[in-house]
């Protein structure tokens, strides 16, 4: 087991990882920018190192400073959290070269999944169902026309290097294709320095369903069921739940089994999420994230398993603590992402939180690094906390969520709490009847 883990992140996820380390009796080091000197993770860690000024590129993305902080403090492993350097293959390679363990998969696996064309090709080879489309990059309009005619319109053109919902263009018919191909390529080139794009069928009313997987790096793979993250705004997840209201036990076991086998065959190590669009009973792979996800707590709530403990165990060579047959699903969980944003316009609302009171009681978990008097710096993303609610079934979970949202107090700034108070009373949400476009349509109607 590791002696000392350096946490290369901030906010709620830094605290989340710190808690797991404390439980396992592992010493903790956190790094922080000058803007985060008063952050909760800095106060609670055994040691902290200031690694630079507020902008992320000078601090949380500064590989040299983070490696130096490991050397100074004698940390033997790094947990990257999510975002920042968590899917940076070069970072994983540099740590390995310094004999520091990256708590995550190998640099090579990160590289494969970071290139969407390569990821899709790999998924297909491993028996994971993919969206029909081109086999690789498409450059010629003639070829694009042929493929689009074959799979049928509408089609979507996606950047191989894309991420965060950027670099995608939809062509409804052949008339749109040429311009969609050209703009997608030039936007991808400008945004990612790589203009490779590919074509796939555009699914009109899918749900976003993702499978939590783990590999032990020695050929064993397991799945922890799925999460439904269809409630999105600008491709950003807002509300996540497990299990998906749309799947039955048979579909769950089937897609979970396919993913676990693929992870085993790949020789993957650590936590991963295989993301699908789901429409008319079919799953279509879109991408794999090679890290812990923001929404991992809903999976923890229904399985009772601490996924960060598992990540640390696997990275230290101790293997997974569970076999597939030990993973049982119990009840229903929902997570709401509470952002420091206007609940209608979603413009960021940094400032000082004058009063912060979290709900409690059975089935309630709040993961947050903020407190009364905390000043939210304007440099980072606006997530200030996550409310995770668990119940024996979806109805009980929703009742509890409504009550917890009423108890939650965040004064001094605007937050997205009012949006969740509206959603929890909505009939479609109560029925679990929504797709990836539902929230945007709902918000447009409310305006
Ligand atoms: P990113 O890495 O940028 O998040 P993804 O491939 O995960 O890109 O896609 C992000 C979102 O774009 C999906 O959740 C979905 O809303 C939409 N999307 C992607 N591919 C398709 C498709 N083939 N059909 C319909 N929507 C799609």
What is the per-residue pLDDT across 220-230, written as a single tens digit (0 to 9) for each?
999 999 999 99
Which CATH number is 207-446 given?
3.30.470.20
At 166 the pLDDT is: 79
Domain 132-201 falls in which CATH fold? Answer: Dna Ligase; domain 1 (3.30.1490)
Same fold, 4-103 and 132-201: no
Instruction: Work out the average pLDDT over 305-324.
Output: 98
The residue whose two tokens read 């500064």 is 62
Q: Which residues contact ligand 1 via a Cβ below 6 A?
A: 131, 156, 162-166, 168, 200-203, 208, 235, 275, 277, 286-287, 436
- Going by CA atoms, what residue is nearest to atom 19 of ligand 1? 286
Q: Quick one: tokens of 141?
A: 């309009």
The pLDDT tens digits for 41-98 are: 999 999 999 999 999 999 999 999 999 999 999 999 999 999 999 999 999 999 999 9
**144/167: higher pLDDT:** 144
Distance between Cα 165 and ligand 1 center (Å): 6
Atom of ligand 1 nearest to the CA of 201: 23
Known catalytic membership, residue 234: no
Question: Measured on CA atoms in the order 299, 304, 310, 312, is the torsion positive or negative?
Answer: positive
Rounded distance from Cα 430 to ligand 1 centre (Å): 25
The structure's pTM equals 0.96
50, 8, 75: which is closest to 292 by C-alpha?
Answer: 8
3-class secondary-structure state, position 337: strand
Query: Alpha-carbon distance 130 to 75, whole Å?
Result: 40
Which of 184, 200, 286, 289 should be mutated for ligand 1, with most atoms under 8 A from CB?
286
pLDDT reading at 28 higher than 90? yes
Task: Dump pLDDT digits (tens) for 386-406.
Answer: 999 999 999 999 999 999 999
Atom of ligand 1 at shortest range from CA of 436: 16
Query: Which structure tokens are listed for 295?
Result: 């929404």
Query: Rounded to the nearest whole angstrom, what is the distance from the C-alpha of residue 441 to the centroid of ligand 1?
Result: 17
Contact of 299 with 329, CB cutoff 8 Å: no
Q: Give me the phi and psi of 371, to 5 degrees please.
A: -155, 170
Task: With a cut of 80, say whether residue 37 has pLDDT above it.
Answer: yes
Listed by start position, the domains of the chain span 4-103, 132-201, 207-446
Q: Ligand 1 center to residue 378 CA distance, Å?
A: 28
Element (H, E) at 300: helix 296-303
According to the model, what pLDDT value does residue 446 have?
Answer: 82
What is 4-103's CATH topology?
A: Rossmann fold (3.40.50)
Shortest-distance Cα residue to atom 8 of ligand 1: 165
Question: pLDDT tens, 150-169?
Answer: 999 999 999 999 887 777 99
Please give the average per-residue pLDDT across 109-113, as a whole number. Answer: 98
Catalytic residue among 10, 185, 291, 313: 291
């Amino acid at each position: 087991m590791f002696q000392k883990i350096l946490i290369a992140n901030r906010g709620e996820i830094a605290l989340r990882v710190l808690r797991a380390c404390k439980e396992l009796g592992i010493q903790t080091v956190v790094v922080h920018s000058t803007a985060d000197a008063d952050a909760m993770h800095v106060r609670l860690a055994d040691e902290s190192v200031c690694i630079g000024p507020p902008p992320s590129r000078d601090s949380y993305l500064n590989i040299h400073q983070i490696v130096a902080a490991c050397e100074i403090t004698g940390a033997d492993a790094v947990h990257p959290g999510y975002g920042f350097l968590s899917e940076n293959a070069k970072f994983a390679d540099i740590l390995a070269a310094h004999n520091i363990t990256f708590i995550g998969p190998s640099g090579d696996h990160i590289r494969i999944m970071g290139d969407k064309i390569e990821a899709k090709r790999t998924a297909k080879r491993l028996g994971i169902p993919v969206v029909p489309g081109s086999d690789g990059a498409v450059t010629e309009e003639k070829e694009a026309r042929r493929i689009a005619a074959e799979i049928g319109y509408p089609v979507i053109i996606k950047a191989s290097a894309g991420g965060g919902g950027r670099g995608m263009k939809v062509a409804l018919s052949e008339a749109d294709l040429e311009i969609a191909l050209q703009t997608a390529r030039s936007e991808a080139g400008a945004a990612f320095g790589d203009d490779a794009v590919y074509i796939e069928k555009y699914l009109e009313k899918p749900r976003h369903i993702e499978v939590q997987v783990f590999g032990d790096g020695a050929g064993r793979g397991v799945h922890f069921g799925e999460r439904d993250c269809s409630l999105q705004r600008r491709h950003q997840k807002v509300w996540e739940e497990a299990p998906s209201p749309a799947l039955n036990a048979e579909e769950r076991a089937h897609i979970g089994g396919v993913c676990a086998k693929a992870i085993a065959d790949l020789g993957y190590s650590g936590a991963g999420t295989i993301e699908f669009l789901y429409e008319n009973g079919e799953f279509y792979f879109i991408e794999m994230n090679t890290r812990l996800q923001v929404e991992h707590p809903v999976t923890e709530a229904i399985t009772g398993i601490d996924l960060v403990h598992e990540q640390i165990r696997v990275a230290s060579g101790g293997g997974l603590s569970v076999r597939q047959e030990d993973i049982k699903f119990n009840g229903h969980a929902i997570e709401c992402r509470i952002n420091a944003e206007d609940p209608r316009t979603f413009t960021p609302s940094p400032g000082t939180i004058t009063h912060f009171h979290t709900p409690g009681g059975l089935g309630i978990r709040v993961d947050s690094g903020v407190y009364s008097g905390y000043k939210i710096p304007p440099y980072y993303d606006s997530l200030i906390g996550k409310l995770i609610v668990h119940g024996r079934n979806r109805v009980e979970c929703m009742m509890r969520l409504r009550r917890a949202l009423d108890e939650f107090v965040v004064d001094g700034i605007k937050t997205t709490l009012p949006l969740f108070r509206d959603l929890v009373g909505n009939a479609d949400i109560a029925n679990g009847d929504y797709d990836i476009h539902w929230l945007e349509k709902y918000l447009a109607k409310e305006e």
